[in-house]
Structure 1
């Protein structure tokens, strides 16, 4: 037959071409072998993150209470994430009440583990997860980001190339697999972002989905739903918050993360098709989690929230969908929606987040709108964590 295509060969060819093109794109965006670096922050941004006024920040420098930071020839100070952490520790050492500047866990507090999930791809799950991780880290929390999506978008955003760096090993799979699992501490990577460590993902994670049915037949212990929580026990003392970026389906990986979570954030794009799909997702989740609960998994969450994503306030139908969700779920819908923003998608072109890009690269209003929206969402998540700790 003329022009017949061997689909497997064609797909392999496409995969190889795309891999080469991505490699070349990464080399253009980042120099060879360069790891990503986090930009410095202006005095205004630093003060906002520290929860103090810019005049108080200036006074701290004037009184020599904090070390000098990078200063431009024009006399403007710029702060690295390390500078912010050092200042935070200095302020905490003289604070009237403990936890005023370092708001993470105190003795007796359990680690908070948040799962970001949705049944559909494109609901802004990874974007939400990484911005939350970064905002919390900039506010002084010790964060472990756990990528359990075989597509490894979160891992890629941290400057890794999963198809090269973690093709055979080095992912979270190594810590939860059924044969000879490794201690989680051996696969955790430091990232360029002060305060965030990463347990990476890669395509090999898909093996967990394939191996679990066999493990269930042979009653391999611990069962799939307990493996993530067990792996985390080794390192949880080092972190305040663990953030799972879940795959866009309800498989064994997602359920293992849910069983290790204390909070769940379901991202939802406010249109009726997505909401209808979410309805099926919730139905399936409930039934599957019943099975897991009956098998002995803990299903106690401190909170569950719906996070409205890619929201356009001027879009009438979207407003109606949001009103419908609020009427239905009440307080479980987060107050702050994440706005749809060209700034967020444009930053993504260079595999960056809004917190990483320079404001000067965007129209000022576009950038400010995106940052304000993200900060409101993430500060609401922070207050949920604080409530879970009884504060």
Structure 2
């Protein structure tokens, strides 16, 4: 017994030391009471996101079509995400085809709900989901990011400390719990990213996994697989796209997200151990989805895609694994892989994404390579959304 107590104390000491070190790291990265703020974008970045040429952007400013934006003494314009959204509205108002620059939902379109998932940790689910959410928001979509991983890495990347800010309340758990759930609208946090809201995660989400077996015995309604969809229904008119960052396990939380989804992105690192793990994951998923389908869950996806993650183009064995997957799954493997990049991992040191950091903080070619890779992946996902809306 004394040994067990000693281990408990040591683990507690480690947890407290780590928490203090993380708090110190956050204070070094951000002001004590500050929330994160999104940087301004260059004219070149703004033009790319708007889908116009830099020369056309300059002409629009010259013609007085756009409001004034932040300009340096040297005459360089810089754009906030809010500026970009206002400019989209101006462009779309005069476009020959309405929806050219505002590409979100139209009358009759259903909200698109994407789940990023895999059975194995370290496959890049959180990295993929947050970069997709941010890219879509920058391109004018109304996005809700939902963190259903008790580890809450996605929530942390938005500048929160889940173990402090959402220790007992304020997470998506409050909206799906069996005892007196709250309206999802009360949970959603506006973020520093224009057009991107967050339903936070936290350790308390684990309670959903613990409570569901008893709820099934007591036949509590809605059942676990319908609770997430029911919560989202309250707010779906406010968004074009809802993105789930799922935990690295096939539990009740993941199943509830799948039952609310219209599209699934399975992230996979191209090595045979991860492929073998994914094989088990797919088999278990199919069996469990059969069970919930028989229980009345509607499981109709517009698309399912495998996203190759942390890809190194010069790695021969990885190339073989990717070729193996393309032969096996065909067009369900996304054309664009997400490259392994020090820019992505280095940005994470300050709890930022590649879209948030300044290009000047990295070697230019490293940064450009990472951004190009992310844009190709996320623009391919955007095209899947557009196809689901039959455009």
Q: TM-score range by the shorter chain?
A: over 0.9
2:304 counterpart of 1:273: no
Aligned residue for 2:162? 162
Aligned residue for 1:152? 152
Question: In 2 relative to 1, CA 2–226 (structure 1 residues): closer, same or farther, beyond 3 Å?
Answer: closer
Structure 2: give runs of 5+ residues left out of the alignment.
Answer: none
Aligned residue for 2:39? 39
Aligned residue for 2:324? 324
Aligned residue for 2:9? 9
Aligned residue for 2:388? 388
Could you tell me the TM-score, scaled by structure 2's length?
0.99
Mapping for residues 135-284 of structure 1, pairs under 5 Å: 135-284=135-284
Aligned residue for 1:377? 377
Please report how far the alpha carbon of residue 13 of structure 1 lies from its aligned counterpart in structure 2 after TM superposition: 1.3
Aligned residue for 1:337? 337
Deviations 1:319-356 (A, max 9, x none): 00000000000000000000000000000000000000
2:63 counterpart of 1:81: no
Whole-angstrom CA distance in 1 between matches of 2:60 and 2:92: 13
Please report how far the alpha carbon of residue 3 of structure 1 lies from its aligned counterpart in structure 2 after TM superposition: 8.3
Aligned residue for 2:48? 48
Deviations 1:55-100 (A, max 9, x none): 1111111111111100111110000000000000111111111110
Deviations 1:187-218 (A, max 9, x none): 10000011100000010000000000000000
Please report how far the alpha carbon of residue 7 of structure 1 lies from its aligned counterpart in structure 2 after TM superposition: 1.9
Provide the secondary structure at the position in 2 that maps to 1:6.
Answer: helix
Whole-angstrom CA distance in 2 between matches of 1:47 and 1:4: 60
Aligned residue for 1:300? 300
Whole-angstrom CA distance in 1 between matches of 2:309 and 2:123: 7
Provide the secondary structure at the position in 1 that maps to 2:198.
Answer: strand
Whole-angstrom CA distance in 2 between matches of 1:175 and 1:16: 30
Aligned residue for 1:96? 96
Please report how far the alpha carbon of residue 2 of structure 1 lies from its aligned counterpart in structure 2 after TM superposition: 10
Deviations 1:288-329 (A, max 9, x none): 111010000011000000000000000000000000000000
Please report how far the alpha carbon of residue 102 of structure 1 lies from its aligned counterpart in structure 2 after TM superposition: 0.2
Please report how far the alpha carbon of residue 114 of structure 1 lies from its aligned counterpart in structure 2 after TM superposition: 0.1
2:167 counterpart of 1:134: no
Deviations 1:132-178 (A, max 9, x none): 00000000000000000000000000001001100010000000000
2:379 counterpart of 1:360: no
Please report how far the alpha carbon of residue 9 of structure 1 lies from its aligned counterpart in structure 2 after TM superposition: 1.7
Please report how far the alpha carbon of residue 6 of structure 1 lies from its aligned counterpart in structure 2 after TM superposition: 2.2
User: What number of residue pairs does the alignment pair up?
Assistant: 391
Deviations 1:99-141 (A, max 9, x none): 1000000000000000000111110100000000000000000
Please report how far the alpha carbon of residue 5 of structure 1 lies from its aligned counterpart in structure 2 after TM superposition: 6.5
Which ranges of 4 or more aligned residues in structure 1 deviate by more than 4 Å?
Answer: 1-5
Please report how far the alpha carbon of residue 12 of structure 1 lies from its aligned counterpart in structure 2 after TM superposition: 1.3
Whole-angstrom CA distance in 1 between matches of 2:342 and 2:233: 39
Whole-angstrom CA distance in 1 between matches of 2:346 and 2:29: 13
Aligned residue for 1:18? 18
